[in-house]
């Protein structure tokens, strides 16, 4: 069993029109919600074995605001995760070291949301459907999806086989 944590960056600042998209920082709301999500992660005892983070300023700032609750997991800042599409995230997942039982991607929409939907199987119970519906309705900034994959290796991970274990948005905290 492998676990994938998908964390969308916190709310970013659009007020400085002169900044490149890659360089946009978090806004005040983002700086408030990331620590709230960190508290939630801590309360659930979520501890990824590896963290893969986009190099965008807003993803790095999100990581900085939650890193204290993630334990000693190594983090890799990867340029290729900046605005990565679903297919790229699949490729990156398949090349993970199998020694890592879990990974957290900190990234961007729409790729992260598409990846979450592609990883997960259709729900079988009403309670699972509610969780899926929340995720499909809005994978908002600083939202966290936790997906359990029935695979012994990362390369064995297949589309539509994962179980959405948890989905939390800042507004639901």
3-state SS string for the chain: CEEEEEEECCCECCCCCCCCHHHCCECHHHHHHHHHHHHHHHHCCCCCCEEEEECCHHHHHHHHHHHHHCCCCCEEEEHHHCCCCHHHHHHHHHCCCCCCCEEEEEECCCHHHHHHHHHECCCCCHHHHHHHHHHHHCCCCCCEEEEEECCCCHHHCCCCCEEEEEEECHHHC
Please report, for the chain, the start and end positions of each structural domain, with discontinuous segments joined by +: 2-172
Please state the rounded mean pLDDT for residues 99-105.
97
What digits encode the pLDDT tens for the residues 136-158?
Answer: 888 999 999 999 999 999 999 99
pTM: 0.95
pLDDT exceeds cutoff 80 at 127: no
Q: Which CATH class is domain 2-172?
A: alpha beta
Q: Which residues are CB-neighbours of 63 under 8 A, at least 6 positions away?
A: 51, 53, 75, 106
| Range 76-95 average pLDDT | 96
In the chain, % of residues over pLDDT 90: 84
Residue 162: band (very low, low, confident or very high) from pLDDT cuts 50, 70, 90 = very high
Q: Which residues contact 32 (CB under 8 A, 6 or more apart)?
A: none
């Amino acid at each position: 069993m492998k676990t994938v944590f998908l964390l969308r960056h916190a709310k970013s600042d659009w007020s400085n029109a002169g900044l490149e998209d890659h360089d946009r920082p978090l806004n005040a709301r983002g700086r408030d919600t990331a620590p709230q999500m960190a508290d939630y992660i801590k309360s659930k005892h979520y501890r990824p074995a590896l963290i893969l983070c986009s190099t965008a300023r807003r993803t790095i700032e999100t990581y900085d605001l939650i890193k204290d609750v993630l334990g000693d997991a190594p983090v890799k800042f990867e340029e290729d995760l900046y605005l990565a599409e679903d297919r790229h995230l699949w490729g990156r997942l398949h090349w993970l070291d199998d020694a890592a039982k879990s990974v957290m991607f900190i990234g961007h929409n729409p790729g992260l949301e598409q990846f979450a939907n592609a990883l997960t199987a259709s729900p079988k119970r009403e309670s699972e459907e509610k969780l899926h519906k929340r995720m499909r309705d809005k994978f908002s900034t600083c939202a966290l999806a936790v997906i359990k994959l029935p695979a012994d290796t990362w390369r064995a991970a297949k589309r539509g086989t994962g179980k959405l274990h948890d989905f939390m948005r800042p507004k639901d905290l």
